[in-house]
Amino acid sequence: MEHLVLRTQSPTILCLGAHSDDIEIGCGGTLLRILDTTPAASVWWVVFSGHDERAEEARRGAELFAGDRLAHFEVHDLQDGFFPEHFEEVKERFRSLDVSPDLVLTHRRKDAHQDHRMIGELTWQTFRDHLILEYEILKYDGDMGSPNVYVPLDEAYANNKVQYLADAFRSQRSKYWFEREVFLSLMTVRGVECKSRYAEAFYGSKLVLRG
């Protein structure tokens, strides 16, 4: 297996999340790794639903994961669970994104959650000549699939990810799925699939290779 790398010296990574904590859960370890290995990389961070405490948590999460590489941060206040009813509003938010990223990390278009799914679909409608990788979120609905892009993570990245999640999202701690073991378990499974201790996995449904 050969490895793909971002060839741009100072890549811009656009992270899109329906809710406060989605980006961190879906691709937090990958971000930590990329920012560590690509010193000039910068991050745009967009969360579409976050009110009050959840908005503050979104900012805290972005700061923990992206640090001083956070070039842009925005959190909107769309109603959790009702994105399809506000399609025009969500689409308008996408239109206003004044960035041409080298890599877009977003929700999976086949995600069972309607808000996640819409963000995934609008990502593809908006970014027509960009590298898009769709991250996965483990949930009750049982929509895990077979991803085809893996980012191996060593223990430090995985442990920092779960620690930052716990630090940033205190309001979520009572949820049964917001557990260190849950996050580490999925990263362990994806690690087995790419011969690494841990990994995060993505769906890359279209890749253009330019040599």
- Residues 2-31 binding Zn ion (CB under 5 A) are 18-19, 22
Q: Say how far apart CA 6 and CA 101 lie, in whole Å.
A: 11
Of the pair 22, 136, the CB lying nearest Zn ion is at 22
Based on CB atoms, which residue is closest to Zn ion, 16 or 201?
16
Chain Cα centroid distance, residue 197:
20
Find the shortest distance in angstroms from Cβ 158 to Zn ion.
21
Q: Which C-beta is closer to Zn ion: that of 41 or that of 203?
A: 203
Alpha carbon of 107 to those of 9, 36, 144: distances in Å?
26, 23, 13
DSSP-derived letter for residue 77 is: B
Count the site residues for Zn ion by CB under 5 A. Answer: 3
| Beta carbons of 78 and 116 less than 8 angstroms apart | no
Find out whether 15 and 43 touch, Cβ atoms under 8 Å: yes
Residue 7 Cβ vs Zn ion, minimum distance, rounded to whole Å? 31
Residue 106 CA, distance from chain mean position: 5
Q: Which of 25, 204, 31, 44 is nearest to 131 (CA)?
A: 204
Is the CB of 97 or the CB of 112 nearer to Zn ion?
112
**In the complex, what is the shortest distance from the CB of residue 111 to Zn ion, in angstroms, rounded to a whole number?**
9
What residues numbered 141-200 form the site for Zn ion, per CB under 5 A? Answer: none
Residue 143 CB, nearest approach to Zn ion (Å): 12
Contacting residues toward Zn ion, per CB under 5 A: 18-19, 22
